[in-house]
Structure 1
Amino acid sequence: MPSTSIGESGLSGASASPDGVDERRFVVALARGLELLRAFRPGETLLANRDFVERTGLPKATVNRLVYTLTTLGYLRFDEPAGKYALDTGVLSLGFALLAGADALELARPHMRVLAREIGAAVSLGCRDGLDMIYLETIRSETALTLGLAPGSRLSMLTSSMGRAYLAVQEQDLQAALLEELGAAADKSGENGARLVKTARNAIADYARDGCCYSFRDWHADVNAIATPLRDVRNGRWLVLSSSGPASSMSEAYFRDIVGPKLRALAARLG
């Protein structure tokens, strides 16, 4: 689902500043431009103006101006044969800057590689971006055929183990507000928001009991996944470690009993 949240605690769309934010200092035009860039979903390379309008809820005239500005600045590129827009090198440079400055990622990478080899499953590190979780790194097992999304990929906070683990460690008020916004966004995209929120709440209860959140065939019919959060103290944010593999060959019990304790131990060392 597309992201509609602005900022860490924002609960409104791109057309207004989030609740609790000083509107005198909040630049709505900038927020709208960033929301336009977030309209791209994993696997998508081209979007038309009407796609931006549908996903952001912004007026067509506003989208036209934002697209022109972002194209001029090198964040979007117009593909003439397709008549659509693609992300350009400006976005890529921002992503590389984020990854280059991620001390926690540099620290985590060799440990993730060892764990992936040991458990025969992919190990990933991610963080929140709006209403999604974005992958910072994925290490695939060298000893087995494993799944794993590439850095920059996004997952729904509601259906992914990574997103559920992030929700599990938020303050109660923020957690409730996020779940409400996520449910509304799911309904808007044609999904059953109430059902997804209920499943996410169950996963949050799993964290209270097990120290991990699960997504067993929820995100994809043949993917099992587990995640646990860790605090990146230096950058003042929550990161999430996750592991995933084919449900057909890696059972729920394997992730609960074998992967879970190892993932929690790694999160404790890194955090």
Structure 2
Amino acid sequence: MSHDTPVTLTLDRGLQVLRAFRADRAPLTDAELARRTGLSRSAVLRLTSTLLHLGYLRHAAGGARFELASGVFGIGQAWLDADPIARAATPVIQALADKLGMAVALAVPDQLDMLTIASGAGGAAACVESPRLGVGTLAPMACTAIGRAWLWGLPEYERRRYLMRLLEVADAQASMLRKAMESAFEELREWGACASQETPEHAAYGLIQGSIYGSIALPLRAGQWRMPMALAVTAVDSQPDIASMRARVLPELSQTARELTVLLADIRVGPPGH
């Protein structure tokens, strides 16, 4: 079967619709799904009808919006249950979260997003933020600390390839994004980690509008295939002091990254889709 058959294209578009739902779990209308996927509203309506029938979407209260249904979570849980990295890393990550009283996430790439595959939450994060920062969360690679740290861990030629795609998608915000990326990479050169301040809207859609979450992230490689990943600590704070947070968090974060590198060294697994 060739890559561009109607069946393959339909499957790809159906997956685009499912990927349009973000960690804020807000229900979406067909118009919002069309905007996020770049598909026509008529195509979205056909796809949502099929996904409703198959149990991957359901109507939200009121009936005009859609939300993810249990079929999606069943697939995701099956993957998590079978993933040796998530199983092995979670206790170590939770220990760091408890020690710092913050949220901790280990993420891998999923197209131009970062997918959290293991997480832990301590302190205020355990009560307030674990849904947004938990396993299965998608965060934009371009404008989060965990995404920028992952990019820095790539070979230079591969990093440039991703940057070209990210800047193309950013469109009018490309210049601002380029400067933010360069600043993050300079931090990574100097400190081995980068920081960002994020809002829920920023984490879901784009660049910073106001800051209520402070994140520190660094790259690491794990498994026999030395798969690039990123590890981040996120604080729940109305006005995060990034310099103080870095001084407190970075030694512990670096130590945990080293522990994970050793712990996961013998695991034979690649990123989702490989």
Sort the TM-score into its range (normalised by shorter chain): 0.7 to 0.9
From 139, 148, 151, give the equivalent of 2:120: 139
Structure 1: how far apart are the matches of 2:237 and 2:182? 22
2:170 partner amino acid: A
Gap change, CA 1:60 and 1:24, over 3 Å in 2? closer
From 99, 118, 142, give the equivalent of 2:99: 118
Aligned to 2:152: 168
Alignment pair present for 1:92 and 2:73: yes
TM-score of the superposed pair, with normalisation by structure 2: 0.78
Aligned to 2:266: none
Structure 2: how far apart are the matches of 1:247 and 1:83? 35
Gap change, CA 1:114 and 1:146, over 3 Å in 2? farther
The answer (yes or no) to whether the contact 1:45–1:87 under 8 Å persists in 2 is no
Alignment pair present for 1:257 and 2:247: yes
Structure 2: how far apart are the matches of 1:24 and 1:179? 26
Aligned to 1:227: 217
Structure 2: how far apart are the matches of 1:147 and 1:64? 33
- Partner SS state of residue 151, structure 1: coil
1:159 partner amino acid: C
Cα drift, residue 161 of structure 1: 0.8
The answer (yes or no) to whether the contact 1:47–1:86 under 8 Å persists in 2 is yes
Cα drift, residue 249 of structure 1: 6.9
1:115 partner amino acid: L
Per mean C-alpha deviation after superposition, the further-off stretch among 152-161 and 241-250 is 241-250
Structure 1: how far apart are the matches of 2:153 and 2:165? 17
Aligned to 2:137: 153
Gap change, CA 1:255 and 1:88, over 3 Å in 2? same
Aligned to 1:201: 182
Structure 2: how far apart are the matches of 1:249 and 1:176? 33
The answer (yes or no) to whether the contact 1:147–1:244 under 8 Å persists in 2 is no
Gap change, CA 1:234 and 1:37, over 3 Å in 2? farther
Cα drift, residue 216 of structure 1: 3.8
The answer (yes or no) to whether the contact 1:164–1:203 under 8 Å persists in 2 is yes
- Partner SS state of residue 192, structure 1: helix
The structure that is helix-richer by fraction is 2
Structure 2: how far apart are the matches of 1:195 and 1:126? 24
Cα drift, residue 199 of structure 1: 0.6
- Partner SS state of residue 27, structure 1: helix
From 154, 175, 178, give the equivalent of 2:162: 178
The answer (yes or no) to whether the contact 1:121–1:146 under 8 Å persists in 2 is no
Structure 2: how far apart are the matches of 1:136 and 1:258? 25
Output one character per residue of 1:90-137: Cα deviation in whole Å (capped at 9) or x when no partner: 111111112212222222222222222323322222222222222234
From 41, 44, 47, give the equivalent of 1:63: 44
The answer (yes or no) to whether the contact 1:122–1:146 under 8 Å persists in 2 is no
Aligned to 1:16: none
- Partner SS state of residue 77, structure 2: helix
Q: How many residues in Structure 1 have an aligned counterpart in Structure 2?
A: 247
1:268 partner amino acid: R
Structure 2: how far apart are the matches of 1:147 and 1:249? 16
Unaligned runs of 5+ in 2: 199-206, 262-274
The answer (yes or no) to whether the contact 2:197–2:240 under 8 Å persists in 1 is no
The answer (yes or no) to whether the contact 2:212–2:240 under 8 Å persists in 1 is no
From 233, 243, 246, give the equivalent of 2:233: 243
The answer (yes or no) to whether the contact 1:132–1:154 under 8 Å persists in 2 is yes
2:189 partner amino acid: A
The answer (yes or no) to whether the contact 2:149–2:219 under 8 Å persists in 1 is yes
From 190, 194, 197, give the equivalent of 1:213: 194
Cα drift, residue 182 of structure 1: 2.1
Cα drift, residue 61 of structure 1: 3.1
The answer (yes or no) to whether the contact 2:112–2:141 under 8 Å persists in 1 is yes
Gap change, CA 1:196 and 1:24, over 3 Å in 2? closer
The answer (yes or no) to whether the contact 2:59–2:66 under 8 Å persists in 1 is yes
1:156 partner amino acid: P
